[in-house]
Structure 1
């Protein structure tokens, strides 16, 4: 069933769009510079398969840090909770998402949580498979199941652009390798990680994934369980506590739903037992979150009483 344009959503998008002027498109990954700063779109996907939208929801975006939720779900399914959290912690951080500081100062040199870059790299390291190709193939298959879209792939241009410029992420990998958090070749892991971040989809796909998490791992139309309930619960908890980088506390107060952002301008939201949300707004604030996307979610939270607290 195609998404239906919503007059109410269109009004909220127009209000939120004004904030795009205060943000800027990510430029540290060269391929992301091409995005239109003034773009803003949203899809909301309900358990009965109906969808409402505003803006160009067919615009493809790369997942970037939104992929961290999905690799965490796959690693938890592959390895179990105990094994994953031997290598990665549970705690939020007030530092930027690409900081190395906590790795150096923690007595046990492991990342604080799976939503910062160091933690995400450690989680990607745990995805099972005999080769980089097999591991990436398993992740793609998993994401295609979550979205119900067999056509999802990745942007080779963005993956190459990230691979060639990810010097800080390599530093995080070498530090973790020194301390036994990871034990594979860094360049192979970077190849997998940059392809993971470059997986492409549109707002409707994001909203469909959000709905699966909102429904504790079940795709409601087919009633098929795609994730163990405990995996969906853990992922949603991290989305609340760490999903908006070091702005997660303010987001929990102002919006109050599990959500994860990426520096491409995407946001995936999961409103428990109600619906999934997919947003794209390329202009970012200083923390790396879609500036208009956050404002739009704040308006939605007030309009539809979304705050779970």
Structure 2
């Protein structure tokens, strides 16, 4: 992205217009009833550079639940509370061709921390007095790294997801039955769903991504917010596993480590350069934002963001 600010803005706006060909494609997630209440054609984009430069477009202040982007937070907290070896003896690191909420990719452990089984496992490794205390720690991590205190538990999303989380409950109990964790499955699931229900916007989410792109250092200070060793793990797992069973093709097309959520948000990272957050609720069959993927593919080309050809 070696252009002046006006040229960057022009190329971003041009990319947004090109991405409009994806408008109307895909469907809003329906298995969490409350997600059906969102405006399916909402659009927002934010890009934050590692030097703190920001670009916002669309409904950039619109709040949405981060959903599976929270898996980054679960992994971050688990790695903070445990050694790398302890975490990765309970969860794998490899991509899977199965759906994100499948029980199939669980053998002696879940395939990776970015499918539901993996994130439920990492949630079980977060320390605290009780579920409330553990969740406050996760939420505080997000507030610290995003540079905003606006993030909150979206209670309506949380309650809706808890009422319909039969598959995730089965996963939690299955993990417990295999001895992958010893904690109460109901409490572990509660923590996992609370994290999914964190409300944010693209501005704060892109700032969160920019810190990851900045090797864990704050953008306006020299303070180390996340150890570089943990950042390396998180970003590499985003690259290999962050877009569900579509991760390999997405990385070929876009070339940016990314993590999506079924709310329609995608967080993309360009190490050393920027964090990008896009929100568009219509999803493809793998649970990824249709317009979000299209826009990131276009931006990758227009701004020279593909990490494999930069």
Cα deviation per residue 1:150-208 (whole Å; 9 max; x = unaligned)?
A: 22111000000001100000111111101111211122122211111000110011100
Q: Which moved more, 1:4-13 or 1:29-38?
A: 4-13
Which consecutive residues of structure 2, in runs of 5 or more, have no partner in the other structure? 1-5
Tell me how far 1:40 sits from its aligned partner.
1.8
TM-score, with structure 1 as normaliser: 0.95
Whole-Å Cα distance in 1 between the matches of residues 176 and 286 of structure 2? 28
| Number of the residue aligned with 2:234 | 235
Contact 1:173 1:182 in 2 (8 A): no
* Pairwise CA distance, 1:102: 2.2
Q: TM-score, normalised by structure 2?
A: 0.95
Q: Distance in 2 between matches of 1:197 and 1:17?
A: 28
Correspondences of 1:139-218 after superposition (within 5 Å): 139-218=138-217
Structure-1 separation of matches of 2:41 and 2:21: 9
Q: Paired residues, what number?
A: 303
Residues in 1 aligned to 2:240 and 2:160: alpha-carbon distance in whole angstroms: 30
1:70-91 Cα distance to aligned partner (Å, 9 max, x none)? 1101110111201101110111
| Residue segments in structure 1 that go unaligned for 5+ positions in a row | none
Distance 2:168 2:72 in 1: 18
Q: What SS does the aligned partner of 1:97 have?
A: coil
Which residue matches 2:3?
Answer: none
Counterparts of 1:78 and 1:204, CA distance in 2: 28
**SS of residue in 2 equivalent to 1:149:** coil
Q: How does 1:128-139 map to 2 (within 5 A)?
A: 128-139=127-138
TM-superposed CA distance for 1:294, in Å, is 0.3
RMSD over equivalenced CA pairs, Å: 1.5
Q: What residue in structure 1 maps to residue 13 of structure 2?
A: 10
2:118 match: secondary structure: helix
